[in-house]
Structure 1
Amino acid sequence: MSPDARLPQPTVCFTGLGLLLTLVPTGLGMEVMAPPIISALNGTSVKLSCTFNSCYKVENKQFSLNWTYQECKNCSEELFLQFRMKIMNKQLDRFGNRVEFTGNPTKYDVSFTLNNVQLEDEGTYNCYVLNPPDRQRGHASISLKVLTEGRCRALPGPCCLGQAASALTRCPLSPEPPKRDSTVAVIVGASVGGFLAVVILVLMVVKCVRRKKQQRLNTDDQKTEEDEGKTDGEGNPDEGTK
Protein backbone atom coordinates (compact mmCIF):
# COMPACT_ATOMS: atom_id res chain seq x y z
CA MET A 1 0.00 0.00 0.00
CA SER A 2 1.40 3.40 -0.96
CA PRO A 3 1.92 6.10 1.72
CA ASP A 4 -0.56 8.38 -0.07
CA ALA A 5 -3.29 5.81 0.32
CA ARG A 6 -2.96 5.96 4.09
CA LEU A 7 -3.61 9.70 4.24
CA PRO A 8 -7.23 10.83 4.75
CA GLN A 9 -8.89 12.22 1.68
CA PRO A 10 -9.65 16.01 1.69
CA THR A 11 -13.38 15.39 1.27
CA VAL A 12 -13.46 13.20 4.36
CA CYS A 13 -11.53 15.82 6.35
CA PHE A 14 -13.91 18.65 5.44
CA THR A 15 -16.92 16.46 6.17
CA GLY A 16 -15.59 15.57 9.60
CA LEU A 17 -14.78 19.22 10.32
CA GLY A 18 -18.28 20.29 9.34
CA LEU A 19 -19.82 17.63 11.56
CA LEU A 20 -17.64 18.76 14.47
CA LEU A 21 -18.71 22.37 14.04
CA THR A 22 -22.37 21.41 14.06
CA LEU A 23 -21.90 19.61 17.36
CA VAL A 24 -20.39 22.68 19.03
CA PRO A 25 -23.17 24.54 20.92
CA THR A 26 -23.81 27.99 19.45
CA GLY A 27 -26.21 29.14 22.13
CA LEU A 28 -29.42 27.54 23.26
CA GLY A 29 -32.56 28.66 21.47
CA MET A 30 -35.39 30.39 23.30
CA GLU A 31 -39.10 29.68 23.21
CA VAL A 32 -41.83 32.31 23.02
CA MET A 33 -45.36 31.32 24.01
CA ALA A 34 -48.68 33.04 23.35
CA PRO A 35 -52.29 31.90 22.82
CA PRO A 36 -52.98 31.57 19.08
CA ILE A 37 -56.43 33.23 19.29
CA ILE A 38 -57.91 35.72 21.75
CA SER A 39 -61.47 37.07 21.57
CA ALA A 40 -62.52 40.38 23.10
CA LEU A 41 -65.80 42.23 23.37
CA ASN A 42 -65.96 45.58 21.64
CA GLY A 43 -65.28 48.46 24.05
CA THR A 44 -63.56 46.38 26.75
CA SER A 45 -59.92 45.82 27.68
CA VAL A 46 -58.03 42.67 26.75
CA LYS A 47 -54.62 41.36 27.76
CA LEU A 48 -52.49 39.90 25.00
CA SER A 49 -50.28 37.49 26.89
CA CYS A 50 -46.77 36.64 25.71
CA THR A 51 -44.11 34.86 27.78
CA PHE A 52 -40.76 33.31 26.97
CA ASN A 53 -38.22 30.80 28.27
CA SER A 54 -34.50 31.47 28.28
CA CYS A 55 -31.48 29.88 29.92
CA TYR A 56 -30.00 33.30 30.56
CA LYS A 57 -30.87 36.09 32.93
CA VAL A 58 -32.56 39.11 31.37
CA GLU A 59 -30.25 42.11 31.12
CA ASN A 60 -31.95 45.36 30.15
CA LYS A 61 -28.89 46.49 28.21
CA GLN A 62 -29.06 43.51 25.89
CA PHE A 63 -32.71 42.44 25.98
CA SER A 64 -34.94 43.55 23.12
CA LEU A 65 -38.68 43.27 22.43
CA ASN A 66 -40.84 44.19 19.46
CA TRP A 67 -44.63 44.08 19.26
CA THR A 68 -46.02 44.51 15.74
CA TYR A 69 -49.52 44.65 14.29
CA GLN A 70 -50.51 43.04 10.99
CA GLU A 71 -53.95 43.87 9.65
CA CYS A 72 -54.07 41.03 7.10
CA LYS A 73 -51.98 38.06 6.08
CA ASN A 74 -50.19 39.87 3.27
CA CYS A 75 -50.11 43.27 4.98
CA SER A 76 -46.89 44.80 6.29
CA GLU A 77 -46.21 44.76 10.03
CA GLU A 78 -46.45 47.98 12.04
CA LEU A 79 -44.22 48.38 15.11
CA PHE A 80 -46.21 49.85 18.01
CA LEU A 81 -44.37 48.68 21.16
CA GLN A 82 -40.64 48.28 21.70
CA PHE A 83 -38.17 47.59 24.51
CA ARG A 84 -34.66 49.02 24.22
CA MET A 85 -33.25 49.63 27.71
CA LYS A 86 -36.82 50.66 28.55
CA ILE A 87 -40.30 50.26 27.16
CA MET A 88 -41.16 52.60 24.29
CA ASN A 89 -44.73 53.05 23.09
CA LYS A 90 -44.81 54.18 19.48
CA GLN A 91 -48.41 55.39 19.91
CA LEU A 92 -49.55 54.63 16.42
CA ASP A 93 -52.57 56.54 15.19
CA ARG A 94 -54.38 53.21 15.09
CA PHE A 95 -54.04 52.65 18.85
CA GLY A 96 -53.25 56.09 20.26
CA ASN A 97 -52.64 55.75 24.00
CA ARG A 98 -54.74 52.60 24.37
CA VAL A 99 -51.68 50.30 24.57
CA GLU A 100 -50.38 49.60 28.08
CA PHE A 101 -47.35 47.41 28.76
CA THR A 102 -48.30 45.11 31.64
CA GLY A 103 -45.45 42.58 31.48
CA ASN A 104 -42.15 42.26 33.31
CA PRO A 105 -39.16 41.14 31.21
CA THR A 106 -37.17 40.08 34.30
CA LYS A 107 -39.97 37.57 34.96
CA TYR A 108 -40.02 36.50 31.30
CA ASP A 109 -43.36 38.21 30.68
CA VAL A 110 -43.77 40.74 27.86
CA SER A 111 -47.57 40.99 27.74
CA PHE A 112 -49.52 44.17 27.08
CA THR A 113 -53.11 45.31 27.54
CA LEU A 114 -55.20 46.92 24.82
CA ASN A 115 -57.86 49.21 26.26
CA ASN A 116 -61.18 50.18 24.69
CA VAL A 117 -60.96 47.51 22.00
CA GLN A 118 -62.35 48.56 18.62
CA LEU A 119 -63.51 46.48 15.66
CA GLU A 120 -60.58 47.88 13.67
CA ASP A 121 -58.16 46.27 16.15
CA GLU A 122 -58.77 42.83 14.67
CA GLY A 123 -55.67 41.29 13.15
CA THR A 124 -52.44 39.51 14.02
CA TYR A 125 -50.17 40.70 16.83
CA ASN A 126 -46.56 39.49 16.64
CA CYS A 127 -44.29 39.22 19.66
CA TYR A 128 -40.52 39.17 18.96
CA VAL A 129 -38.09 38.56 21.82
CA LEU A 130 -34.28 38.43 21.88
CA ASN A 131 -32.33 37.77 25.06
CA PRO A 132 -28.57 37.50 24.43
CA PRO A 133 -26.49 35.34 24.63
CA ASP A 134 -29.41 33.60 22.84
CA ARG A 135 -28.70 34.07 19.16
CA GLN A 136 -32.11 33.08 17.88
CA ARG A 137 -34.92 35.60 18.16
CA GLY A 138 -38.12 34.03 19.46
CA HIS A 139 -41.48 34.77 17.87
CA ALA A 140 -45.14 34.12 18.63
CA SER A 141 -48.36 35.37 17.03
CA ILE A 142 -51.82 36.15 18.42
CA SER A 143 -54.94 36.50 16.30
CA LEU A 144 -57.29 38.99 17.95
CA LYS A 145 -61.02 38.62 17.26
CA VAL A 146 -63.27 41.52 18.27
CA LEU A 147 -66.88 40.57 19.04
CA THR A 148 -70.00 42.68 19.23
CA GLU A 149 -72.87 41.86 21.56
CA GLY A 150 -74.84 40.38 18.66
CA ARG A 151 -72.01 38.06 17.67
CA CYS A 152 -71.38 37.27 21.32
CA ARG A 153 -74.91 35.95 21.90
CA ALA A 154 -74.42 33.36 19.17
CA LEU A 155 -71.48 31.76 20.97
CA PRO A 156 -72.00 29.06 23.64
CA GLY A 157 -70.68 29.91 27.08
CA PRO A 158 -68.39 32.87 27.85
CA CYS A 159 -67.49 34.50 24.54
CA CYS A 160 -64.86 37.01 25.60
CA LEU A 161 -61.60 35.27 26.38
CA GLY A 162 -58.55 36.87 27.93
CA GLN A 163 -60.48 39.70 29.57
CA ALA A 164 -60.81 40.86 33.11
CA ALA A 165 -63.65 39.55 35.22
CA SER A 166 -65.51 42.86 35.00
CA ALA A 167 -65.46 42.65 31.23
CA LEU A 168 -66.67 39.09 31.26
CA THR A 169 -69.78 40.11 33.17
CA ARG A 170 -70.69 42.42 30.31
CA CYS A 171 -70.53 39.61 27.81
CA PRO A 172 -74.09 38.34 27.25
CA LEU A 173 -74.48 34.62 27.01
CA SER A 174 -76.80 32.66 24.80
CA PRO A 175 -80.20 32.16 26.50
CA GLU A 176 -80.75 28.87 28.24
CA PRO A 177 -83.39 26.58 26.73
CA PRO A 178 -86.67 26.45 28.69
CA LYS A 179 -86.85 23.75 31.28
CA ARG A 180 -89.15 20.88 30.38
CA ASP A 181 -91.54 19.15 32.72
CA SER A 182 -89.94 15.83 33.60
CA THR A 183 -93.05 14.30 35.22
CA VAL A 184 -94.10 12.47 32.05
CA ALA A 185 -90.58 11.17 31.54
CA VAL A 186 -90.46 9.90 35.12
CA ILE A 187 -93.82 8.11 34.73
CA VAL A 188 -92.81 6.50 31.43
CA GLY A 189 -89.46 5.46 32.85
CA ALA A 190 -91.07 3.94 35.94
CA SER A 191 -93.61 2.06 33.82
CA VAL A 192 -90.97 0.63 31.52
CA GLY A 193 -88.80 -0.30 34.49
CA GLY A 194 -91.70 -2.05 36.23
CA PHE A 195 -92.62 -3.97 33.10
CA LEU A 196 -89.05 -5.14 32.63
CA ALA A 197 -88.88 -6.20 36.28
CA VAL A 198 -92.04 -8.32 35.88
CA VAL A 199 -90.70 -9.93 32.70
CA ILE A 200 -87.40 -10.76 34.40
CA LEU A 201 -89.23 -12.21 37.41
CA VAL A 202 -91.45 -14.40 35.19
CA LEU A 203 -88.43 -15.67 33.28
CA MET A 204 -86.68 -16.54 36.53
CA VAL A 205 -89.73 -18.44 37.80
CA VAL A 206 -90.06 -20.37 34.53
CA LYS A 207 -86.39 -21.23 34.62
CA CYS A 208 -86.63 -22.46 38.21
CA VAL A 209 -89.71 -24.60 37.41
CA ARG A 210 -87.97 -26.17 34.42
CA ARG A 211 -84.88 -26.86 36.47
CA LYS A 212 -86.87 -28.60 39.23
CA LYS A 213 -88.80 -30.60 36.66
CA GLN A 214 -85.58 -31.71 35.03
CA GLN A 215 -84.17 -32.69 38.42
CA ARG A 216 -87.25 -34.81 39.12
CA LEU A 217 -86.95 -36.54 35.76
CA ASN A 218 -83.30 -37.30 36.41
CA THR A 219 -84.16 -38.66 39.87
CA ASP A 220 -86.91 -40.91 38.47
CA ASP A 221 -84.60 -42.23 35.76
CA GLN A 222 -81.95 -43.00 38.33
CA LYS A 223 -84.41 -44.90 40.55
CA THR A 224 -85.65 -46.90 37.55
CA GLU A 225 -82.11 -47.93 36.66
CA GLU A 226 -81.42 -48.97 40.26
CA ASP A 227 -84.59 -51.08 40.37
CA GLU A 228 -83.71 -52.80 37.11
CA GLY A 229 -80.24 -53.53 38.44
CA LYS A 230 -81.63 -55.14 41.56
CA THR A 231 -84.02 -57.29 39.53
CA ASP A 232 -81.23 -58.56 37.30
CA GLY A 233 -79.08 -59.31 40.29
CA GLU A 234 -81.76 -61.41 41.95
CA GLY A 235 -82.71 -63.33 38.76
CA ASN A 236 -79.22 -64.49 37.75
CA PRO A 237 -78.68 -66.93 40.63
CA ASP A 238 -81.97 -68.75 39.85
CA GLU A 239 -80.90 -69.29 36.28
CA GLY A 240 -77.58 -70.67 37.43
CA THR A 241 -79.34 -73.21 39.72
CA LYS A 242 -81.44 -74.51 36.88
Structure 2
Amino acid sequence: MASLDNTGWSVPGLLLVLLLVFDSDVLHVHGLEVSAEKMSSIEAMNGSTVLFNCKYHSCIGIHNLYFSWHYNNNGTMDKLCDGVVPSEGVEPRVKVEHQRVEFVGSSKKENISILLWNITFEDEGEYTCFARNPKEKDRNHSTTFTLTVVSQMREVDNTLTVIIVSVLGGVIGLVIIVMVIKALVVQFLMKDDEKNKECLVNASGNDNTENGLTGAKADNKGTPKA
Protein backbone atom coordinates (compact mmCIF):
# COMPACT_ATOMS: atom_id res chain seq x y z
CA MET A 1 0.00 0.00 0.00
CA ALA A 2 1.40 3.39 -0.98
CA SER A 3 2.25 5.71 1.90
CA LEU A 4 0.56 9.09 2.23
CA ASP A 5 2.04 12.34 3.47
CA ASN A 6 0.17 15.01 5.47
CA THR A 7 -1.34 16.52 2.30
CA GLY A 8 -2.90 13.24 1.22
CA TRP A 9 -0.47 12.66 -1.69
CA SER A 10 1.13 9.27 -2.13
CA VAL A 11 4.90 9.11 -2.66
CA PRO A 12 4.58 7.60 -6.18
CA GLY A 13 2.03 10.29 -7.01
CA LEU A 14 4.41 13.06 -5.98
CA LEU A 15 7.20 11.51 -8.01
CA LEU A 16 4.95 11.34 -11.07
CA VAL A 17 3.97 15.01 -10.73
CA LEU A 18 7.60 16.06 -10.33
CA LEU A 19 8.59 14.09 -13.41
CA LEU A 20 5.78 15.66 -15.46
CA VAL A 21 6.74 19.16 -14.34
CA PHE A 22 10.42 18.55 -15.10
CA ASP A 23 9.62 17.07 -18.51
CA SER A 24 7.31 19.98 -19.37
CA ASP A 25 10.00 22.48 -18.36
CA VAL A 26 12.59 20.78 -20.56
CA LEU A 27 10.36 20.61 -23.58
CA HIS A 28 8.88 24.07 -23.46
CA VAL A 29 11.44 26.31 -21.79
CA HIS A 30 14.62 24.87 -23.20
CA GLY A 31 13.12 23.47 -26.39
CA LEU A 32 13.66 24.16 -30.06
CA GLU A 33 13.65 27.79 -31.18
CA VAL A 34 13.90 29.27 -34.66
CA SER A 35 14.77 32.94 -34.95
CA ALA A 36 15.66 35.65 -37.44
CA GLU A 37 19.33 36.43 -36.82
CA LYS A 38 18.85 40.04 -37.93
CA MET A 39 15.76 41.88 -39.14
CA SER A 40 12.48 40.11 -39.87
CA SER A 41 11.34 42.99 -42.11
CA ILE A 42 13.49 43.38 -45.21
CA GLU A 43 13.42 46.11 -47.85
CA ALA A 44 15.40 45.36 -51.01
CA MET A 45 15.80 46.85 -54.47
CA ASN A 46 14.32 45.22 -57.54
CA GLY A 47 16.92 42.95 -59.19
CA SER A 48 19.06 42.52 -56.07
CA THR A 49 19.76 39.40 -53.97
CA VAL A 50 18.21 38.95 -50.52
CA LEU A 51 19.53 36.93 -47.58
CA PHE A 52 16.92 35.41 -45.26
CA ASN A 53 19.06 34.74 -42.19
CA CYS A 54 17.49 32.05 -40.00
CA LYS A 55 18.98 30.08 -37.08
CA TYR A 56 17.77 27.24 -34.89
CA HIS A 57 18.77 26.31 -31.35
CA SER A 58 17.96 23.56 -28.87
CA CYS A 59 19.53 23.05 -25.45
CA ILE A 60 18.55 19.39 -25.60
CA GLY A 61 20.24 18.74 -28.92
CA ILE A 62 18.88 17.65 -32.30
CA HIS A 63 18.39 14.44 -34.24
CA ASN A 64 17.13 14.42 -37.82
CA LEU A 65 16.02 18.03 -37.51
CA TYR A 66 13.64 18.80 -40.36
CA PHE A 67 13.48 22.34 -41.75
CA SER A 68 11.73 24.06 -44.64
CA TRP A 69 11.19 27.43 -46.28
CA HIS A 70 7.79 28.50 -47.65
CA TYR A 71 6.53 31.57 -49.48
CA ASN A 72 2.99 32.78 -48.79
CA ASN A 73 1.60 33.18 -52.31
CA ASN A 74 -1.80 34.80 -51.63
CA GLY A 75 -2.68 32.20 -49.01
CA THR A 76 -0.97 29.27 -50.73
CA MET A 77 2.27 28.16 -49.09
CA ASP A 78 4.77 27.45 -51.88
CA LYS A 79 7.72 25.35 -50.75
CA LEU A 80 11.09 26.86 -51.65
CA CYS A 81 13.35 24.22 -50.10
CA ASP A 82 13.58 21.73 -47.26
CA GLY A 83 16.12 19.46 -45.67
CA VAL A 84 17.20 17.34 -42.72
CA VAL A 85 20.09 17.91 -40.32
CA PRO A 86 21.05 14.38 -39.13
CA SER A 87 22.83 15.53 -35.97
CA GLU A 88 24.79 18.40 -34.51
CA GLY A 89 27.72 19.44 -36.71
CA VAL A 90 26.62 17.26 -39.65
CA GLU A 91 25.72 19.21 -42.79
CA PRO A 92 22.10 18.84 -43.91
CA ARG A 93 20.68 17.08 -46.93
CA VAL A 94 18.85 19.87 -48.77
CA LYS A 95 16.36 19.82 -51.64
CA VAL A 96 15.82 23.18 -53.39
CA GLU A 97 12.55 23.57 -55.28
CA HIS A 98 12.90 27.13 -56.58
CA GLN A 99 15.35 28.07 -59.33
CA ARG A 100 16.35 31.38 -57.73
CA VAL A 101 16.80 30.01 -54.21
CA GLU A 102 20.17 28.93 -52.80
CA PHE A 103 20.71 27.27 -49.43
CA VAL A 104 23.65 28.93 -47.63
CA GLY A 105 23.22 27.59 -44.09
CA SER A 106 25.53 25.38 -42.05
CA SER A 107 24.72 23.05 -39.16
CA LYS A 108 28.06 23.99 -37.57
CA LYS A 109 26.58 27.44 -36.97
CA GLU A 110 22.99 26.18 -36.44
CA ASN A 111 22.12 28.18 -39.54
CA ILE A 112 19.47 27.30 -42.15
CA SER A 113 19.53 30.52 -44.18
CA ILE A 114 18.71 30.96 -47.87
CA LEU A 115 19.45 33.46 -50.64
CA LEU A 116 16.84 34.64 -53.13
CA TRP A 117 18.49 35.81 -56.33
CA ASN A 118 17.36 38.55 -58.74
CA ILE A 119 14.19 39.48 -56.89
CA THR A 120 11.21 41.11 -58.60
CA PHE A 121 8.14 42.94 -57.35
CA GLU A 122 6.26 39.64 -57.52
CA ASP A 123 8.54 38.27 -54.80
CA GLU A 124 7.09 40.60 -52.18
CA GLY A 125 5.43 38.91 -49.24
CA GLU A 126 6.07 36.58 -46.33
CA TYR A 127 8.77 33.92 -46.13
CA THR A 128 8.59 31.36 -43.31
CA CYS A 129 11.49 29.42 -41.83
CA PHE A 130 10.21 26.26 -40.11
CA ALA A 131 11.96 23.53 -38.09
CA ARG A 132 10.89 20.34 -36.30
CA ASN A 133 13.00 18.29 -33.91
CA PRO A 134 12.06 14.59 -33.47
CA LYS A 135 14.37 14.43 -30.43
CA GLU A 136 11.88 16.71 -28.64
CA LYS A 137 8.79 14.67 -29.57
CA ASP A 138 8.49 16.60 -32.85
CA ARG A 139 8.47 19.99 -31.19
CA ASN A 140 8.42 22.65 -33.93
CA HIS A 141 8.94 26.37 -34.24
CA SER A 142 9.01 28.97 -37.01
CA THR A 143 9.75 32.59 -37.81
CA THR A 144 8.47 34.76 -40.66
CA PHE A 145 10.23 37.38 -42.78
CA THR A 146 8.39 40.14 -44.65
CA LEU A 147 9.99 41.24 -47.93
CA THR A 148 9.26 44.60 -49.56
CA VAL A 149 10.67 45.27 -53.04
CA VAL A 150 11.33 48.86 -54.15
CA SER A 151 12.55 50.46 -57.38
CA GLN A 152 15.24 52.39 -55.52
CA MET A 153 16.41 52.57 -51.97
CA ARG A 154 15.11 55.48 -49.96
CA GLU A 155 17.63 58.06 -48.85
CA VAL A 156 17.71 58.49 -45.12
CA ASP A 157 17.66 62.11 -43.98
CA ASN A 158 20.45 62.40 -41.45
CA THR A 159 20.16 66.17 -41.01
CA LEU A 160 18.69 65.94 -37.52
CA THR A 161 21.27 63.36 -36.50
CA VAL A 162 24.11 65.55 -37.79
CA ILE A 163 22.73 68.56 -35.90
CA ILE A 164 22.41 66.60 -32.65
CA VAL A 165 25.91 65.15 -32.98
CA SER A 166 27.32 68.60 -33.79
CA VAL A 167 25.62 70.19 -30.79
CA LEU A 168 26.76 67.43 -28.46
CA GLY A 169 30.29 67.68 -29.84
CA GLY A 170 30.29 71.45 -29.29
CA VAL A 171 29.00 71.09 -25.73
CA ILE A 172 31.57 68.43 -24.89
CA GLY A 173 34.34 70.57 -26.42
CA LEU A 174 33.20 73.60 -24.43
CA VAL A 175 33.15 71.59 -21.20
CA ILE A 176 36.68 70.36 -21.87
CA ILE A 177 37.90 73.91 -22.56
CA VAL A 178 36.28 75.20 -19.35
CA MET A 179 37.88 72.39 -17.34
CA VAL A 180 41.31 73.12 -18.84
CA ILE A 181 40.98 76.86 -18.12
CA LYS A 182 39.81 76.10 -14.57
CA ALA A 183 42.80 73.84 -13.99
CA LEU A 184 45.21 76.51 -15.28
CA VAL A 185 43.62 79.22 -13.12
CA VAL A 186 43.77 77.01 -10.03
CA GLN A 187 47.42 76.19 -10.72
CA PHE A 188 48.24 79.87 -11.23
CA LEU A 189 46.47 80.85 -7.99
CA MET A 190 48.31 78.15 -6.07
CA LYS A 191 51.67 79.39 -7.36
CA ASP A 192 50.75 82.99 -6.53
CA ASP A 193 49.66 81.93 -3.04
CA GLU A 194 52.98 80.15 -2.50
CA LYS A 195 54.86 83.29 -3.56
CA ASN A 196 52.84 85.39 -1.10
CA LYS A 197 53.59 82.94 1.70
CA GLU A 198 57.34 83.07 0.92
CA CYS A 199 57.20 86.85 0.88
CA LEU A 200 55.48 86.96 4.28
CA VAL A 201 58.02 84.55 5.76
CA ASN A 202 60.96 86.62 4.47
CA ALA A 203 59.41 89.85 5.74
CA SER A 204 58.83 88.33 9.15
CA GLY A 205 62.47 87.22 9.34
CA ASN A 206 63.73 90.68 8.46
CA ASP A 207 61.59 92.30 11.16
CA ASN A 208 62.90 89.96 13.82
CA THR A 209 66.51 90.66 12.83
CA GLU A 210 66.05 94.40 13.05
CA ASN A 211 64.38 94.16 16.44
CA GLY A 212 67.19 92.00 17.75
CA LEU A 213 69.90 94.45 16.65
CA THR A 214 68.13 97.41 18.26
CA GLY A 215 67.85 95.60 21.55
CA ALA A 216 71.51 94.68 21.50
CA LYS A 217 72.56 98.26 21.02
CA ALA A 218 70.41 99.34 23.90
CA ASP A 219 71.92 96.72 26.17
CA ASN A 220 75.51 97.76 25.30
CA LYS A 221 75.03 101.29 26.72
CA GLY A 222 77.04 101.79 29.91
CA THR A 223 75.48 102.36 33.29
CA PRO A 224 75.56 106.07 34.21
CA LYS A 225 78.10 106.89 36.85
CA ALA A 226 76.92 108.28 40.07
Mapped to 2, the partners of 1:106 and 1:224 lie a distance apart of 90
How far did residue 109 of structure 1 move?
A: 3.7
Q: Does the 8 Å CA contact 2:96/2:102 hold for their aligned counterparts?
A: no
Gaps in structure 2 of 5+ consecutive residues: 85-93, 159-180
Number of residue equivalences:
180
Match of 2:82 in 1: 83
Mapped to 2, the partners of 1:213 and 1:133 lie a distance apart of 86
Match of 2:34 in 1: 32
More strand by share: 2
Question: Which aligned pairs between 1:41-80 and structure 2 lie closer than 5 A?
Answer: 41-54=45-58, 56=61, 58-59=63-64, 63-70=65-72, 76=75, 78-80=77-79
Question: Which aligned pairs between 1:2-21 and structure 2 lie closer than 5 A?
Answer: 7-9=4-6, 11-13=8-10, 14=13, 17-21=16-20
Q: Does the 8 Å CA contact 1:36/1:141 hold for their aligned counterparts?
A: no
Secondary structure of residue in 1 paired with 2:134: coil
Mapped to 2, the partners of 1:142 and 1:106 lie a distance apart of 23
TM-score by length of 1: 0.52
Match of 1:133 in 2: 135
Residue by residue, what CA displacement relative to the aligned partner does 1:47-69 show, whole Å, maximum 9, x if unpaired?
Answer: 2222323454553xxx4223233
Q: Does the 8 Å CA contact 1:64/1:82 hold for their aligned counterparts?
A: no
Q: Partner amino acid for 2:57?
A: N
How far did residue 236 of structure 1 move?
A: 6.8
How far did residue 43 of structure 1 move?
A: 1.2
Q: Does the 8 Å CA contact 1:126/1:142 hold for their aligned counterparts?
A: yes
Are the structure 2 counterparts of residues 102 and 231 from structure 1 closer, same or farther at C-alpha, using a change threshold of 3 Å? closer
Match of 1:146 in 2: 149
**Is 1:224 matched up with 2:207?**
yes
Aligned residues: percent identity? 24
Mapped to 1, the partners of 2:106 and 2:192 lie a distance apart of 82
TM-score by length of 2: 0.55
Q: Does the 8 Å CA contact 1:129/1:139 hold for their aligned counterparts?
A: yes
Residue by residue, what CA displacement relative to the aligned partner does 1:96-130 show, whole Å, maximum 9, x if unpaired?
Answer: x4334444668744322222212343333221111
How far did residue 40 of structure 1 move?
A: 2.1
How far did residue 16 of structure 1 move?
A: 5.4
Gaps in structure 1 of 5+ consecutive residues: 1-5, 92-96, 158-196
